[in-house]
Structure 1
Amino acid sequence: MRQVHFLGGKIVAFDSVEELIRAARNGRSQKEFADLLEVDQSMVSKYERGKASPPISVINRCMRLVHTAEGESAPSAEQLAERVRVTLADPELGPVRSALSRLVDAVASENAQARSSGAAPQ
Protein backbone atom coordinates (compact mmCIF):
# COMPACT_ATOMS: atom_id res chain seq x y z
CA MET A 1 0.00 0.00 0.00
CA ARG A 2 1.40 3.38 -0.96
CA GLN A 3 2.00 5.69 1.99
CA VAL A 4 1.80 9.41 1.20
CA HIS A 5 3.76 11.91 3.28
CA PHE A 6 4.38 15.64 3.09
CA LEU A 7 8.04 16.65 3.04
CA GLY A 8 9.24 20.20 2.60
CA GLY A 9 6.01 21.23 0.91
CA LYS A 10 6.17 18.26 -1.45
CA ILE A 11 4.26 15.01 -1.36
CA VAL A 12 6.54 12.01 -0.91
CA ALA A 13 5.13 8.52 -1.41
CA PHE A 14 6.48 5.29 0.03
CA ASP A 15 5.24 1.95 -1.19
CA SER A 16 6.37 0.16 1.96
CA VAL A 17 7.58 0.57 5.51
CA GLU A 18 10.97 -0.63 4.25
CA GLU A 19 11.19 2.43 1.98
CA LEU A 20 10.27 4.72 4.88
CA ILE A 21 13.00 3.15 7.04
CA ARG A 22 15.61 3.60 4.28
CA ALA A 23 14.52 7.21 3.66
CA ALA A 24 14.74 8.00 7.38
CA ARG A 25 18.21 6.42 7.61
CA ASN A 26 19.27 9.02 5.02
CA GLY A 27 22.86 7.88 4.50
CA ARG A 28 23.56 7.03 8.12
CA SER A 29 25.17 3.69 8.84
CA GLN A 30 22.79 1.03 10.11
CA LYS A 31 24.62 1.16 13.46
CA GLU A 32 24.29 4.94 13.75
CA PHE A 33 20.61 4.75 12.76
CA ALA A 34 19.98 1.89 15.19
CA ASP A 35 21.45 3.97 18.01
CA LEU A 36 19.16 6.85 17.04
CA LEU A 37 16.14 4.51 17.10
CA GLU A 38 17.35 2.74 20.26
CA VAL A 39 17.26 -0.70 18.60
CA ASP A 40 19.95 -3.21 17.61
CA GLN A 41 21.66 -2.79 14.24
CA SER A 42 20.37 -6.22 13.24
CA MET A 43 16.78 -4.95 13.65
CA VAL A 44 17.42 -2.05 11.25
CA SER A 45 18.67 -4.58 8.71
CA LYS A 46 15.55 -6.72 9.23
CA TYR A 47 13.24 -3.70 8.95
CA GLU A 48 14.89 -2.63 5.68
CA ARG A 49 14.61 -6.13 4.20
CA GLY A 50 11.01 -6.62 5.35
CA LYS A 51 12.03 -9.49 7.64
CA ALA A 52 10.61 -7.78 10.73
CA SER A 53 7.85 -5.24 11.27
CA PRO A 54 8.95 -2.22 13.26
CA PRO A 55 6.81 -1.14 16.21
CA ILE A 56 4.74 2.01 15.83
CA SER A 57 7.28 3.96 17.92
CA VAL A 58 9.99 3.23 15.31
CA ILE A 59 7.65 4.14 12.44
CA ASN A 60 6.73 7.40 14.20
CA ARG A 61 10.40 8.24 14.75
CA CYS A 62 11.20 7.49 11.09
CA MET A 63 8.32 9.68 9.93
CA ARG A 64 9.63 12.51 12.10
CA LEU A 65 13.12 12.07 10.64
CA VAL A 66 11.79 12.07 7.08
CA HIS A 67 9.54 15.07 7.63
CA THR A 68 11.75 17.28 9.74
CA ALA A 69 14.94 18.52 8.18
CA GLU A 70 17.84 18.92 10.57
CA GLY A 71 17.39 22.11 12.54
CA GLU A 72 13.79 22.53 11.38
CA SER A 73 11.14 22.64 14.06
CA ALA A 74 7.91 20.67 13.73
CA PRO A 75 4.86 22.72 12.70
CA SER A 76 2.38 23.71 15.37
CA ALA A 77 -0.92 21.85 15.54
CA GLU A 78 -2.64 24.93 14.11
CA GLN A 79 -0.17 25.19 11.19
CA LEU A 80 -0.56 21.52 10.43
CA ALA A 81 -4.36 21.70 10.62
CA GLU A 82 -4.38 24.60 8.15
CA ARG A 83 -2.09 22.74 5.73
CA VAL A 84 -4.31 19.68 5.95
CA ARG A 85 -7.45 21.78 5.49
CA VAL A 86 -6.07 23.48 2.36
CA THR A 87 -4.33 20.44 0.87
CA LEU A 88 -7.16 17.97 1.39
CA ALA A 89 -10.11 20.22 0.50
CA ASP A 90 -10.52 18.52 -2.89
CA PRO A 91 -13.62 16.25 -2.75
CA GLU A 92 -11.67 13.55 -4.60
CA LEU A 93 -9.32 13.25 -1.62
CA GLY A 94 -11.98 11.76 0.67
CA PRO A 95 -10.07 8.46 0.99
CA VAL A 96 -6.93 10.34 2.02
CA ARG A 97 -8.90 12.26 4.66
CA SER A 98 -10.32 8.98 5.97
CA ALA A 99 -6.85 7.43 6.17
CA LEU A 100 -5.49 10.51 7.94
CA SER A 101 -8.38 10.38 10.40
CA ARG A 102 -7.55 6.75 11.23
CA LEU A 103 -3.88 7.65 11.65
CA VAL A 104 -4.71 10.48 14.05
CA ASP A 105 -6.98 8.13 16.03
CA ALA A 106 -4.18 5.53 16.24
CA VAL A 107 -1.63 8.08 17.43
CA ALA A 108 -4.07 9.47 20.00
CA SER A 109 -4.80 5.96 21.26
CA GLU A 110 -1.11 5.10 21.54
CA ASN A 111 -0.36 8.34 23.38
CA ALA A 112 -3.25 7.73 25.79
CA GLN A 113 -1.96 4.22 26.49
CA ALA A 114 1.57 5.55 27.02
CA ARG A 115 0.30 8.18 29.46
CA SER A 116 -1.73 5.66 31.41
CA SER A 117 1.28 3.33 31.69
CA GLY A 118 3.56 6.18 32.76
CA ALA A 119 5.65 6.07 29.58
CA ALA A 120 6.37 9.15 27.50
CA PRO A 121 4.23 9.42 24.35
CA GLN A 122 6.13 8.64 21.14
Structure 2
Amino acid sequence: MAITTVAELIRTARNRLSQKEFAQKLGVKQSSVSRYESGKVNPSVNVIEHSMRLVHSESAEFLPTADELAVKVKTGLAKKDQGRLRLALIRLIEVLSNDRAEDRAVTPTSRQNGS
Protein backbone atom coordinates (compact mmCIF):
# COMPACT_ATOMS: atom_id res chain seq x y z
CA MET A 1 0.00 0.00 0.00
CA ALA A 2 1.38 3.38 -0.99
CA ILE A 3 1.11 6.07 1.66
CA THR A 4 -0.06 9.27 0.02
CA THR A 5 -1.16 11.45 2.94
CA VAL A 6 0.13 12.38 6.37
CA ALA A 7 -3.03 10.86 7.89
CA GLU A 8 -2.24 7.51 6.21
CA LEU A 9 1.34 7.73 7.43
CA ILE A 10 0.19 8.21 11.03
CA ARG A 11 -2.35 5.36 10.82
CA THR A 12 0.26 3.05 9.30
CA ALA A 13 2.92 3.98 11.85
CA ARG A 14 0.49 3.37 14.73
CA ASN A 15 0.36 -0.28 13.62
CA ARG A 16 -2.17 -1.86 15.98
CA LEU A 17 -1.34 0.37 18.94
CA SER A 18 -4.22 2.30 20.44
CA GLN A 19 -4.21 6.02 19.74
CA LYS A 20 -3.39 6.57 23.41
CA GLU A 21 -0.38 4.20 23.30
CA PHE A 22 0.88 5.74 20.09
CA ALA A 23 0.41 9.25 21.48
CA GLN A 24 2.56 8.32 24.48
CA LYS A 25 5.30 7.09 22.11
CA LEU A 26 5.16 10.40 20.25
CA GLY A 27 4.87 12.56 23.34
CA VAL A 28 1.54 14.07 22.28
CA LYS A 29 -2.08 13.79 23.44
CA GLN A 30 -4.41 11.05 22.18
CA SER A 31 -6.69 13.74 20.77
CA SER A 32 -3.78 15.00 18.65
CA VAL A 33 -3.28 11.55 17.12
CA SER A 34 -7.01 11.43 16.37
CA ARG A 35 -6.84 14.81 14.61
CA TYR A 36 -3.72 13.75 12.66
CA GLU A 37 -5.45 10.58 11.46
CA SER A 38 -8.60 12.43 10.44
CA GLY A 39 -6.55 14.97 8.51
CA LYS A 40 -7.92 17.87 10.57
CA VAL A 41 -4.47 18.87 11.83
CA ASN A 42 -1.00 18.35 10.42
CA PRO A 43 1.54 17.00 12.91
CA SER A 44 4.89 18.59 13.62
CA VAL A 45 7.93 17.66 11.56
CA ASN A 46 9.22 15.60 14.50
CA VAL A 47 6.03 13.51 14.60
CA ILE A 48 6.17 12.97 10.84
CA GLU A 49 9.85 11.95 10.96
CA HIS A 50 9.23 9.58 13.88
CA SER A 51 6.28 8.03 12.03
CA MET A 52 8.34 7.64 8.86
CA ARG A 53 11.07 5.86 10.81
CA LEU A 54 8.50 3.51 12.33
CA VAL A 55 6.95 2.71 8.96
CA HIS A 56 10.36 2.29 7.35
CA SER A 57 11.63 -0.07 10.04
CA GLU A 58 8.50 -2.23 9.76
CA SER A 59 8.49 -2.43 5.97
CA ALA A 60 12.17 -2.19 5.02
CA GLU A 61 12.07 -5.52 3.23
CA PHE A 62 9.32 -4.21 0.92
CA LEU A 63 11.12 -1.02 -0.08
CA PRO A 64 12.46 -0.80 -3.63
CA THR A 65 16.17 -0.51 -4.23
CA ALA A 66 17.55 2.76 -5.61
CA ASP A 67 17.79 1.16 -9.07
CA GLU A 68 14.18 -0.05 -8.94
CA LEU A 69 13.04 3.38 -7.81
CA ALA A 70 15.00 5.07 -10.62
CA VAL A 71 13.32 2.80 -13.19
CA LYS A 72 9.88 3.64 -11.75
CA VAL A 73 10.61 7.37 -11.90
CA LYS A 74 11.94 7.17 -15.47
CA THR A 75 8.92 5.12 -16.56
CA GLY A 76 6.50 7.54 -14.92
CA LEU A 77 8.19 10.58 -16.42
CA ALA A 78 8.17 9.05 -19.89
CA LYS A 79 4.38 9.32 -20.07
CA LYS A 80 3.04 12.08 -22.32
CA ASP A 81 1.08 13.90 -19.64
CA GLN A 82 4.11 14.29 -17.37
CA GLY A 83 5.76 17.14 -19.29
CA ARG A 84 5.24 19.76 -16.58
CA LEU A 85 6.48 17.40 -13.89
CA ARG A 86 9.56 16.57 -15.99
CA LEU A 87 10.36 20.27 -16.38
CA ALA A 88 9.92 20.90 -12.66
CA LEU A 89 12.23 18.00 -11.81
CA ILE A 90 14.83 19.17 -14.32
CA ARG A 91 14.74 22.66 -12.78
CA LEU A 92 15.06 21.19 -9.30
CA ILE A 93 18.03 19.07 -10.33
CA GLU A 94 19.69 22.11 -11.93
CA VAL A 95 19.18 24.22 -8.80
CA LEU A 96 20.51 21.46 -6.56
CA SER A 97 23.49 20.92 -8.88
CA ASN A 98 24.27 24.64 -8.88
CA ASP A 99 23.99 24.82 -5.09
CA ARG A 100 26.30 21.82 -4.78
CA ALA A 101 28.83 23.39 -7.18
CA GLU A 102 28.76 26.63 -5.19
CA ASP A 103 29.32 24.71 -1.95
CA ARG A 104 32.34 22.98 -3.46
CA ALA A 105 33.72 26.29 -4.72
CA VAL A 106 33.89 27.65 -1.17
CA THR A 107 37.10 26.26 0.25
CA PRO A 108 37.90 26.01 3.96
CA THR A 109 40.53 28.76 3.48
CA SER A 110 38.05 31.17 1.90
CA ARG A 111 35.54 30.49 4.69
CA GLN A 112 38.12 31.42 7.31
CA ASN A 113 38.91 34.66 5.52
CA GLY A 114 35.23 35.62 5.51
CA SER A 115 34.68 35.11 1.78
Report the TM-score, using the length of structure 2 for normalisation. 0.48
Higher-Rg member (1/2): 2
Q: Judging by fraction of residues, say which structure has more strand.
A: 1
Report the TM-score, using the length of structure 1 for normalisation. 0.46
Q: Judging by fraction of residues, say which structure has more helix.
A: 2
